[in-house]
Amino acid sequence: MKLRVITIVGLTVIAAALLVTPYVVGQNIESSFKAEIARADEGMDFDIRLERYDRGWFSAVADVTGAYEGHRVRMTYDITHGPWPNLNWASIEGRITDAQEPDGQRMAWMSMFDGDDVAALTLDSTIPFTGGIDIELFSPAGRAQLNPETQLVWRGLTGMISQHGNQRELHIDMPGLNLTEGQGIGKIAGITIDGHGERDSADAPLWNQKFDVSVASVSLDDPTQDVSLNLSASLAHESSPSADGQTYGMNTTLGVSDLTLDPGGQEEVVRINSAAIAYRLEGFETSALNALTDFIAKHQDNTLDETARQRLQQIIGQALAGNPKLTVAIPRVDSARGQMQAELSLALAPSSSTSQGTAINVAALMDRMRLEGNTAIDISLLRQWASASGENGQVTLKMLDDLVDQGYFRIQNEQVASDIQASAQLIRINGRVLSDAERRAWLMMAFGVLTGLDMSSASGQP
């Protein structure tokens, strides 16, 4: 008898827990959901609003709208509260349910799927007992007549996004799309996006991030203009704080390969085997980056008053007070007619000033500035570009000849090349130190670039 009573009490407690737990979990999910919507609204360039959140005992429904310049998109979320046997606190399914133009008309691409009950995009999310979140993305294939002359063919999308602890993962596959307008057609195929991020702790403001995008093929063909273009493309981005967390750096490279441009007529077909352009930023003060991020989030929809402008100048001054270095490079261009490479780095020596004023001293910045650059271009490649550019190309070749005569460029191994090292105290080009008059002229031009003033007439521009 005693055992039976204990069993009945135990089962009652378990049943009560199973009934109460979804309600408690539902409260926590609602709070977290609303907090995420508010955080997204602060960090985006468009307006995000939670229109409704109806929570029951075991489930909830939420509508979220995003608006930008009169365009509105609504997503509906069906939320089921756990706990469930598959070790999830909750599951969330989100789907696009409406998209409107500024005039209230339904956006044309919403009609590209079979039936109004087929969502353009769905997000299936689970929140495991172990913490974090897993999201699966899906968009079906479809087609839409955007206007009488334009048709879009969409080949679908699959992907996943997850965050567990201090790690994030992203993977998206898009087979491609076709856009036809009149006789012209553009095709993009084989789009892949991969991302990974991690940080040292939950309160660390900046992440170590890696982001890669690849596009297997892009083709554009317009018989009316007698032009066609084909290429493959990639984008790679990495960013991370330094070991001591004081500075932040990032590296972005955009690449193309197997590029063929046929301009039609009698003009020569342009063929580029591979090319890339890279941007590197090193030594950017982490505190300044955090302050700039917060400033943008607070003022993205507002006109800056005098106080805000002074605060922005103070943040920029804080960033420039360190030892930042920006590099823009063309690591290599390999074409059928020749090759080229170029790199330009601009760095600031550490500032000795501890002033926290709002004014940016341009003269002091120039005194700290260090510039290094080099370039080398095959003469055969220059000639092809000049031929394709017509009269303007010939003028540029003549200007380049003059610069070679003045020593700013040199001819070396069938290439036009140049090297430069510059500071406020010394400028060296191709090993030759410029005279004081030349150096002042170059500095005046640099000052004009920094301030937006035309200094050429005062500088005796070389």
Cα gap 312→291, rounded to integer Å: 9
Cα gap 4→9, rounded to integer Å: 9
| Domain count within the chain | 1
Number of C-beta neighbours around residue 248 at 10 A: 22
Give me the pLDDT at residue 454, please.
47
Cα gap 91→120, rounded to integer Å: 20
Helix, strand, coil % in the chain, rounded to nearest 5: 30, 50, 25
DSSP 8-state code for residue 354: -
Cα gap 444→429, rounded to integer Å: 17
pLDDT band at 365 (very low <50, low <70, confident <90, very high): confident
Cα gap 65→78, rounded to integer Å: 15
Chain-centroid distance, C-alpha 416: 34
Which residues, 6 or more positions from 31, have their beta carbon under 8 angstroms from its beta carbon? none
Does residue 42 or residue 270 have the better pLDDT?
Answer: 270
Q: What is the pLDDT averaged over residues 263-281? A: 84
Residue 174 has pLDDT above 90, yes or no: yes
- Nearest CA-CA partner of 445 in 366, 372, 348, 359: 366
Q: Is residue 8 part of a domain?
A: yes
Q: What is the pLDDT averaged over residues 86-103? A: 78
pLDDT tens-place string over residues 176-211: 999 998 888 999 999 999 999 998 877 777 788 999
Residue 230 has pLDDT above 70, yes or no: yes
**DSSP-derived 3-state class of residue 460:** coil
pLDDT band at 462 (very low <50, low <70, confident <90, very high): very low
**DSSP-derived 3-state class of residue 110:** helix
Residue 430 has pLDDT above 80, yes or no: yes
Does residue 135 or residue 317 have the better pLDDT?
Answer: 135
pLDDT tens-place string over residues 443-458: 777 666 555 544 444 4
Query: Poorest-confidence range of 24-38, 141-155, 396-410?
Result: 24-38
- Nearest CA-CA partner of 382 in 411, 405, 406: 411
The rounded percent of the chain whose pLDDT value lies above 70 is: 82
Q: Is residue 351 part of a domain?
A: no
Q: What is the pLDDT averaged over residues 107-127? A: 74
Cα gap 34→29, rounded to integer Å: 9
Q: Is residue 44 part of a domain?
A: yes
Q: What average pLDDT does the chain have?
A: 80
Q: Is 146 exposed, middle or buried (0-12, 13-18, 19+ CB in 10 A)?
A: middle
Query: Poorest-confidence range of 9-13, 165-169, 345-349?
Result: 9-13
Q: What is the pTM of this model?
A: 0.78
Number of C-beta neighbours around residue 423 at 10 A: 18
Give me the pLDDT at residue 43, please.
56
Q: Is residue 361 part of a domain?
A: no
Q: Is 356 exposed, middle or buried (0-12, 13-18, 19+ CB in 10 A)?
A: exposed
Find residue 278's DSSP bridge partners: 253, 329
Q: What is the pLDDT averaged over residues 416-441? A: 88
Give me the pLDDT at residue 116, please.
56
Give me the pLDDT at residue 358, please.
53
332 token code pair: 């290599």
pLDDT tens-place string over residues 7-38: 444 444 444 444 555 656 667 777 877 877 77
Does residue 417 or residue 98 have the better pLDDT?
Answer: 417
Give me the pLDDT at residue 119, please.
77
Which residues, 6 or more positions from 406, have their beta carbon under 8 angstroms from its beta carbon? 462
Cα gap 333→257, rounded to integer Å: 10
pLDDT band at 256 (very low <50, low <70, confident <90, very high): very high
Look up the domain containing 34 and give its range: 1-83
What Cα–Cα distance (Å) separates residue 228 from each residue in 257, 318, 333, 404, 451?
Answer: 16, 48, 21, 36, 42
Which 3-state string (H, E, C) describes 294-343? Answer: HHHHHHCCCCCCHHHHHHHHHHHHHHHCCCCEEEEEEEEEEECCEEEEEE
pLDDT band at 353 (very low <50, low <70, confident <90, very high): low
Chain-centroid distance, C-alpha 214: 14
